[in-house]
Amino acid sequence: MSTTPRERYRAQVRAEVKEHAWAQIAEAGASAISLNAIAKAMGLSGPALYRYFANRDELITELVTDAYRQLADAFHAAVEAKGSDPAVIAHAMRDWALAYPQRYFLIYGTPIPGYHAPDTTTEIAGELMGMLLDALADRDPGPATAFDEHLDAHRDWAESDLRAGTLRTALGLWANLHGVISLEIANHFTNMGFDTGQFFQSELDAMLGR
């Protein structure tokens, strides 16, 4: 599909705005995003920049969507290359987080005050969980727990034919993975004298019972 010079210019400016926003996030966190500061850095007036992004929240939504989409693409690429296995997905998540720490923290870190992500972003997040559920579908979730009964009553976000134990396993794995990855990305293991990659693998093996 062909585009006009005007459309190409608009896409170029929007991409440049997002690059400046990522730089702001890297320097001071997502709450520091400022359209006026970006406009100044680009040599534009504030009103001129608002022709490309109506407000801060629209820009953040673009950044969040891009981050989720990039992570989903990493999941798909890993599964296509190595097969649908929870360990494959776990390593794809860690590799992506190490390569793009600011993007990781934007979607999995501290919420931005006053910002509420639209449903379109949660749909991509659901896609990520769906891939993990698929990878766990054939695994024995072990004995049923009281939480399984709770999940059976609150499973609107998952396919109805999945076992509650599989949902529990996916949630537990997801939560633990983010705990280890977040600590690593935030440098909380610095100077502890161990290989963080080996620690991640050890924790992953324990989570998967391997």
List pLDDT tens digits, range 93-115: 999 999 999 999 999 988 888 88
Per-residue confidence (pLDDT) for residue 11, from 0 to 100: 92
Res 70 pLDDT > 70: yes
Per-residue confidence (pLDDT) for residue 48, from 0 to 100: 87
List every span in the chain annotated with CATH 1.10.357.10. 57-208
Res 159 pLDDT > 90: no
Mean pLDDT across 84-99: 96
CATH dotted code for 1-54 = 1.10.10
**Position 155 confidence tier, pLDDT thresholds 50, 70, 90:** low
d(C-alpha 136, C-alpha 3), whole Å: 43
Higher pLDDT pick, 83 / 164:
83
List every span in the chain annotated with CATH 1.10.10. 1-54
Q: Are 173 and 210 in contact (CB under 8 A)?
A: no
Which amino acid would we find at residue 138?
D
Residue spans of alpha helices (H) in 54-195: 56-82, 86-99, 101-108, 119-136, 146-153, 164-185
Termini Cα distance of the chain:
49
Share the mean pLDDT of the chain: 89
178 Cβ partners below 8 Å, 6+ apart?
Answer: 108
Mean pLDDT across 38-42: 93
**Position 59 confidence tier, pLDDT thresholds 50, 70, 90:** very high
Per-residue confidence (pLDDT) for residue 187, from 0 to 100: 93
Per-residue confidence (pLDDT) for residue 189, from 0 to 100: 93
What is the reported pTM? 0.87
Q: Which CATH class is domain 57-208?
A: mainly alpha
d(C-alpha 172, C-alpha 202), whole Å: 16
Per-residue confidence (pLDDT) for residue 156, from 0 to 100: 61
Nearest CA-CA partner of 92 in 62, 60, 132, 57: 132
Higher pLDDT pick, 19 / 122:
19
